[in-house]
Structure 1
């Protein structure tokens, strides 16, 4: 695929313009990016419904109603329970400090034979006891501050309203937009760019679509397992472990550590740690033997280190918009690096007995 000089300048200028626009418009891009992500995730479902005889509009309406039911159920069922568990966690902080001061630190001193300078635990405990009610009403304080700022409330409500509207229209016209973008490509670039786009979709499909389902499934498994154990913070820790599973194995390590601490503070019996370990062991076994092979398969995904770096770099450069764009951009970069690597292996830079490259982009 040989690029003319004008095409190279066109691609460079287009990339720079898009980057500058993303930087300047970042404060208003969040609802559009969330809507585009939801449309991308649900487009295969709409395509399957359309293949079974439904019109595109009917298929989109069915998918949209299903998404709306999930959102409503999450708001009505999960958020009140999460709020209650957060307040429970705050109330247990003084008890956790007592366990740390009276059990854990003495055990470390006796085991290692090293004296530890203990903090003034009484003052810390008194601070939390005097402020836990105020901290527990943090959501109410945030809503109160938002209420006092009319513009902030209007922007917040507008973003919430925009997300379903953008999702609906993007999902309805998704295939048409992809086709129009493909037709706009220069004819000599279209075959290779289409190939790259398919590879990027494979990477994103393996990671975002598959890993998102794995995250949700693990969150449910961990929450149910910890609730059977009797942990008060089962839902909160289960969702935390599920979200952390965006990076493979991170959810397991984060969840088991947090759950072990919470379980020991609540029950103060070492045997409960065995049950916590059993819950996360079962979840990890299901992830490795059932969830990942079924939902992700053997498709190429993003390396865990690349995921961490992409999310942190996107957040540092563009805030929340950067976090939303991090994985798609990382997938594109990964595909381009793979092709650059193939071009390098076939060039004289790698092996001097091979002919010099003629300006062809691999």
Structure 2
């Protein structure tokens, strides 16, 4: 009986500690975001650092190589995204008067007939708004200044986080083994073997997930680039590469690439050929990803229901912002290991059986 009471008290104690940690995690999420981002990047880059160290390179040089490789990848993506978006948006502004005229001629009268309301769009008003956005007016300038004053601290905090993240990353890459050892030393000895077993399962799951995700991204980048090129899109390669690289953000990545492809189709083609081509390329791409690549390459290792993934995107996005959206899937996968372990213990417990 005494042992039962002791275990019950320990369970209540650790449950309380876990609840307090969750509350602190939520409260301190803006502060913890750069540290968690640095830790996530360090987890991805540490195998490369260890491989270079095994090749007799000094650790500082291995860390420098992996860090600058990461910076090169990020800059490469930005060099694809920013010019592409600027080009498509600029062309869209040029084509906007023609689109509005076609709408007012073909669609607005039908809407007026069906609903009895005036649905015409005033192109002059749109031009005034665009002119305000481009050249600026007193009211617009006042609004921007007021917004900058109200959100200045948020902007400063964003750039501080941007500067802290690489510092955290470099320190973790240098001292990763010490960091892991310090965590191991904190674990109570009676729980050490079980905890390490859970960590090993999480590490295997995340490692296989990352390897599979990178391979899927490369295959889809090549597929979308080739598919859009065969359809005659001028921006096929940038849009295709961007769509493939953003696949690691569930649903959001392919949606952004699809919107860019639709915008490019509207700008380049005068008929429905472009939209039909986008529908075919992206429809087959989703079939390829969902029915071939993900099951064959990544398998059922994660085993998360689509509704769970969507819920995780909203939850982690709310807590950690854009970084939370990026890390929602791997963090949910890691948590699923813990949940399966706890559920297994529950099914084997006397509380469940009796």
176, 179, 182: which is aligned to 1:180?
A: 182
**Residue 16 (structure 2) pairs with residue 18 (structure 1):** no
- TM-score scaled to structure 1, two decimals? 0.72
Helix, strand or coil at the partner of 1:188:
helix
27, 30, 35: which is aligned to 2:33?
A: 30
More displaced 10-residue stretch of structure 1: 37-46 or 280-289: 280-289
**Residue 299 (structure 2) pairs with residue 308 (structure 1):** no
Q: In 2 relative to 1, CA 259–30 (structure 1 residues): closer, same or farther, beyond 3 Å?
A: same
Listed as ranges, the gaps of 5+ residues in structure 2 are none
Q: Which residue of 2 aligns with 1:166?
A: 168
Matches for 1:198-347 after TM superposition, within 5 Å: 198-207=200-209, 210-211=212-213, 214-215=216-217, 218-219=220-221, 221-222=223-224, 225-226=227-228, 229-231=231-233, 235=238, 239=242, 243=246, 246-247=249-250, 259-260=261-262, 262-264=264-266, 266-280=268-282, 283-284=285-286, 287=289, 292=294, 296=298, 299-317=301-319, 319-320=321-322, 322-323=324-325, 326-346=328-348
Q: Which residue of 2 aligns with 1:53?
A: 56
* Distance of 2:11 and 2:322 partners within structure 1: 31
* Distance of 1:294 and 1:228 partners within structure 2: 26
Q: In 2 relative to 1, CA 288–318 (structure 1 residues): closer, same or farther, beyond 3 Å?
A: closer
RMSD: 4.3
More displaced 10-residue stretch of structure 1: 146-155 or 334-343: 146-155
User: Cα offset for 1:169?
Assistant: 1.0
User: Cα offset for 1:100?
Assistant: 5.2
* Distance of 2:250 and 2:292 partners within structure 1: 17
User: Cα offset for 1:11?
Assistant: 2.3
Q: In 2 relative to 1, CA 344–310 (structure 1 residues): closer, same or farther, beyond 3 Å?
A: same
User: Cα offset for 1:161?
Assistant: 1.7
Matches for 1:28-107 after TM superposition, within 5 Å: 28-76=31-79, 78-98=81-101
Q: Which residue of 1 aligns with 2:120?
A: 122
Q: Which residue of 2 aligns with 1:195?
A: 197
More displaced 10-residue stretch of structure 1: 51-60 or 189-198: 51-60
Q: In 2 relative to 1, CA 224–169 (structure 1 residues): closer, same or farther, beyond 3 Å?
A: farther
Higher relative contact order (CA 8 A, sep 6+): 1
User: Cα offset for 1:290?
Assistant: 7.9
More displaced 10-residue stretch of structure 1: 154-163 or 87-96: 87-96
* Distance of 2:260 and 2:347 partners within structure 1: 46
- Larger relative helix fraction: 2
Q: In 2 relative to 1, CA 6–322 (structure 1 residues): closer, same or farther, beyond 3 Å?
A: farther
* Distance of 2:202 and 2:122 partners within structure 1: 51
Kept in 2: contact 1:26–1:318 (CA 8 A): yes
Q: In 2 relative to 1, CA 95–8 (structure 1 residues): closer, same or farther, beyond 3 Å?
A: farther
* Distance of 1:245 and 1:148 partners within structure 2: 34
User: Cα offset for 1:64?
Assistant: 0.7
Q: In 2 relative to 1, CA 286–92 (structure 1 residues): closer, same or farther, beyond 3 Å?
A: same
Kept in 1: contact 2:198–2:337 (CA 8 A): yes
In the alignment of these two chains, the number of paired residues is 343
- TM-score scaled to structure 2, two decimals? 0.74
